[in-house]
């Protein structure tokens, strides 16, 4: 006996036997690798669609919503020195558009119809840059509001008032003057809230409100919307109430986080089911190999070595399946992306091109995850094999 001699942990033998099983049992190997591969490929493609739709969603949000919104100083109703403020904002790097806006509630009436709307005045060019309104015009010309008392109406408003281009609507409000506005165009964004609004020039809005050359907010767009928090902080330092889209619309990221979580849960189940396939293959292997395990034990293979043979085999099958699936999923995603599949939604003005964006991280992470799950799936069969009684096992 040689007490104190450390056990050799060279995995040479285990790897040798495991690889031999994998190479010679081609059908079982194909089954296990196929199950895991398919699962990983499904996951890669599914996540590519998820990433694509998230990008489409945020592109839409970032196109229409303010990246940073600047409101008056605390206790003040309007931003008075807005020209100085705008000059300052333009000095911040990464600012793409600055739209000073005066917005107020107004009652629009046409013949017998009356509708309360958000009447928003701005500089048409800047307004278009932060809201892309020109793109959503279905009738008339957005830039017509630049001169004279003209307004463009959201489709919802135009329908409710039953008004057509060229006709006059009357804008009124308790504190404001009554004003006739010529309908210069109609737009549709597909977002109900925005389609219930009306837009005029900044001058028109200021005249209507009668408070002088003031605005009540500034809508800022950035080259990179994810810099919004930094920019908002810089402006807040001047005493204005500046918020990023993150603070303004926390529900975007919240609902996205929830959806991502539930999708990932489904994908985890797909992978779990695939690892049951591995568990099944390993179980069959152990049953089939009972006599050989007995012989290996007779030759002095220790229980832990027997266990490792089957764990290594599970792991290799999982990694091989995961890698094949990852590659396949990437190719399928790339192909589907290149097809430029479009979906149309009746309420949306434009068809959406479905994007398949594969995250490189996924291509490495999921094969590794598949390997880990396969090893876990192999624990029970491996344990069973290691606990075989060699005398009974050899009898077959």
Partner 1 sequence: MSNIIEIKKLRKVYGDGVELLALDDVDLTIKEGEVLAIVGPSGSGKSTLLNMIGLLDTPSDGEIWLKGQNITKASPKERARLRNKELGFIFQYHHLLPEFDAVENVMMPLLIAGMDKKEARHRAITLLEEVGLGDRLHNRPNQLSGGQNQRVAVARALAGHPSIVIGDEPTGNLDSKSSDMIYELLRKLNRQMNQTFILVTHDMDMAEKTDRILRLVDGRIVCEMRRDGDGFVSQDVCRQNE
Q: Which parts of this chain interact with partner 1 (CB under 8 A)?
A: 1, 7-8, 10, 12-13, 16-17, 20-21, 23-25, 291-292, 294-303, 305, 390-391, 394, 396
CB of 5 to partner 1, least distance (A): 9
Residues pairing with 374 in the sheet: none
φ and ψ at residue 338, rounded to 5 degrees: -70, -20
Q: How far is CA 121 from CA 150, 168, 218, 344, in A?
A: 11, 18, 11, 32
Q: Which is nearer to partner 1, 87 or 389 (CB)?
A: 389
CB 87, CB 218: distance < 8 Å? no
Q: Which is nearer to partner 1, 12 or 237 (CB)?
A: 12
Of 273, 219, 217, 194, residue with least CA distance to 98: 219
CB of 301 to partner 1, least distance (A): 5
Of 258, 336, 334, 340, residue with least CA distance to 54: 258
CB of 376 to partner 1, least distance (A): 25
CB of 311 to partner 1, least distance (A): 17
Q: Which is nearer to partner 1, 25 or 150 (CB)?
A: 25
CB of 364 to partner 1, least distance (A): 31
Q: Which is nearer to partner 1, 110 or 310 (CB)?
A: 310
Q: Which is nearer to partner 1, 193 or 288 (CB)?
A: 288
DSSP class of residue 194?
G
Please list, in sequence order, all residues whose beta carbon lies within 8 angstroms of the beta carbon of residue 201, skipping any fewer than 6 positions away.
121, 122, 123, 124, 145, 146, 147, 150
Q: Which is nearer to partner 1, 24 or 344 (CB)?
A: 24
d(CA 279, CA 306): 16
Q: Which is nearer to partner 1, 287 or 391 (CB)?
A: 391
CB of 372 to partner 1, least distance (A): 27
Strands 150-154, 179-187: pairing kind = parallel
Q: Which is nearer to partner 1, 134 or 292 (CB)?
A: 292
CB of 292 to partner 1, least distance (A): 5
Please list, in sequence order, all residues whose beta carbon lies within 8 angstroms of the beta carbon of residue 49, skipping any fewer than 6 positions away.
354, 355, 356
CB of 294 to partner 1, least distance (A): 7
CB 217, CB 79: distance < 8 Å? yes
d(CA 314, CA 333): 28
CA 330 and chain centroid, separation? 18
d(CA 302, CA 284): 21
Of 214, 153, 161, 206, residue with least CA distance to 179: 206
Q: Which is nearer to partner 1, 13 or 284 (CB)?
A: 13
CB of 20 to partner 1, least distance (A): 5
From the DSSP assignment, how many helices (H) and strands (E) are in the chain? 13, 12
DSSP 71-99: EPPTT-SSBSSHHHHHHHHHHSTTEEEEE
Q: Which is nearer to partner 1, 18 or 144 (CB)?
A: 18
CB of 325 to partner 1, least distance (A): 26
Q: How is residue 339 written in tokens?
A: 């097809």
């Amino acid at each position: 006996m040689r007490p104190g001699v450390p056990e050799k942990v060279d995995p040479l033998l285990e790897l040798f036997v495991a690889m031999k099983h994998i190479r010679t049992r081609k059908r079982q190997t194909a089954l296990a690798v196929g199950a895991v591969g398919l699962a990983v490929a499904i996951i890669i493609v599914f996540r590519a669609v998820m990433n694509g739709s998230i990008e489409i969603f945020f592109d839409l949000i970032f196109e229409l919503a303010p990246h940073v919104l600047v409101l008056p100083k605390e206790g003040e109703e309007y931003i008075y020195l807005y020209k100085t403020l705008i000059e300052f904002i333009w000095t911040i790097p990464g600012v793409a558009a600055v739209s000073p806006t005066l917005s107020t509630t107004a009652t629009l009436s046409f013949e017998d119809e009356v509708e309360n709307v958000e009447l928003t005045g701005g500089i048409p060019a800047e307004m278009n840059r932060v809201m892309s309104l020109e793109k959503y015009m279905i009738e008339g010309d957005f830039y017509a509001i630049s001169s004279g008392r003209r307004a463009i109406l959201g489709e919802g408003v135009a329908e409710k008032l039953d008004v057509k281009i060229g006709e006059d609507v009357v804008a009124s409000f308790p504190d404001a003057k009554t004003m006739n506005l010529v309908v210069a165009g109609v737009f549709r964004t597909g977002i109900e809230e925005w389609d219930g609004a009306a837009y005029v020039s900044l001058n028109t809005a200021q005249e209507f409100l009668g408070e002088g050359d003031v605005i009540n907010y500034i809508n800022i767009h950035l080259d990179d919307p994810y810099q919004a928090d930094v920019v908002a902080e810089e402006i807040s330092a001047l005493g204005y109430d500046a918020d990023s889209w993150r603070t303004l619309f926390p529900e975007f990221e919240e609902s996205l986080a929830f959806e991502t979580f539930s999708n990932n849960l489904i994908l985890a189940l797909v992978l779990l089911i695939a690892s049951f396939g591995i568990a099944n293959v390993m179980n069959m292997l152990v049953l089939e190999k009972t006599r050989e395990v007995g012989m290996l034990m007779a030759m002095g293979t220790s229980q832990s070595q027997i266990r490792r043979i089957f764990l290594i085999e599970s792991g290799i099958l999982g990694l091989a399946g995961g890698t094949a699936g990852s590659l396949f999923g990437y190719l399928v995603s790339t192909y589907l992306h290149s097809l430029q599949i479009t979906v149309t939604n009746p309420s949306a003005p434009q068809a959406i091109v479905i994007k398949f964006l594969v995250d490189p991280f996924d291509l490495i992470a999921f094969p590794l995850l598949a390997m880990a799950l396969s090893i876990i799936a192999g624990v029970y069969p491996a344990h069973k094999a290691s606990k075989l009684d060699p005398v009974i096992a050899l009898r077959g």
